[in-house]
Structure 1
Amino acid sequence: MKSWLFLGIAIVAEVIATSSLKASDGFTRLAPSLVVLVGYAAAFYFLSLTLKEIPVGIAYAVWAGLGIVLIAAIGWLVLGQRLDLPAVIGMALIVAGVGVINLFSRAGAH
């Protein structure tokens, strides 16, 4: 269970870092650039802890799926970016795929 917590922390850190990339203005602004660097360092550190118990394919599927959805939500809510119906359907399919892997696959760490 602790490895899933580490994966959650890794995902949140990566989402914070990715969300700060735009504000870093190509790494020309110090504070957002530091958030990006610290966020990615934390994300990969916690991902490495996750991989002690969860197979890399499963961990990365969850990381990527949730990361895509969270970044898209931040883009929509904070940055005013629009999501059309195909984008929403695609993200729903990603979430469904992650759910199928975690609920039904024998490849996952259960």
Structure 2
Amino acid sequence: MAYTVLIIAIVFEVIGTSFLMLSQQFTKLVPTVVMALCYLASFYFLSQALKFMPLGVAYALWSGLGIVLTVGIGIVVFRQVPDLPAVIGIALIIGGVVVINGFSQAGGH
């Protein structure tokens, strides 16, 4: 249950961040409203995940996977190609998520 709720939170966070880009610094009303609603939903579901897992683990997964997915959206939708240091950093984030989920006893397993 914890991971399902956390994945929903991550999806809303990634959608919200995509609409943040589309809001053009809050000058476009509809993308700004969608962004705000997605962020509210994301924080709500993140708070629900905290019923089942520790704050540090939940936040690490939420932010780490959110970063990776947002980079993917940036590449596919916004044609933003990361440079080598960014790719290395993203690989380290993925590695951290794998270590937390695969080896840590602090997670919501």
Q: How high is the TM-score relative to the length of structure 1?
A: 0.93
Question: How far apart are residue 24 of structure 1 and its match?
Answer: 1.0
The aligned counterpart of 1:70 is: 69
Partner deviation per Cα, 1:82-106 (whole Å, 9 max, x = no partner): 1122211211111111111111112
Deviates more, 1:84-93 or 1:15-24: 84-93
Q: How high is the TM-score relative to the length of structure 2?
A: 0.94
Separation in 1 of the partners of 2:84 and 2:25?
A: 31
4+ residue segments displaced more than 2 Å: none
Contact (CA 8 Å) 2:2, 2:108: kept in 1 or not? Answer: no
Paired residue secondary structure (1:74): helix
Deviates more, 1:85-94 or 1:62-71: 85-94
- Could you say what the CA RMSD is over the residues aligned between the two structures, in angstroms? 1.0
* Identity among equivalent pairs (%): 57
AA aligned opposite 1:40: Y
Q: Is 1:17 aligned to 2:29, yes or no?
A: no
Question: How far apart are residue 51 of structure 1 and its match?
Answer: 0.2
Partner deviation per Cα, 1:15-61 (whole Å, 9 max, x = no partner): 00011112112222111011101100100000010000111100011
Paired residue secondary structure (1:18): helix
Which runs of 5 or more structure 2 residues have no equivalent in the other structure?
A: none
AA aligned opposite 1:54: M
Which runs of 5 or more structure 1 residues have no equivalent in the other structure?
A: none
The aligned counterpart of 2:103 is: 104
Q: How many residues align?
A: 109
Separation in 2 of the partners of 1:93 and 1:44?
A: 25
**Structure 1 segment 2-81 matched on structure 2, within 5 A:** 2-81=1-80
Contact (CA 8 Å) 2:12, 2:42: kept in 1 or not? Answer: yes
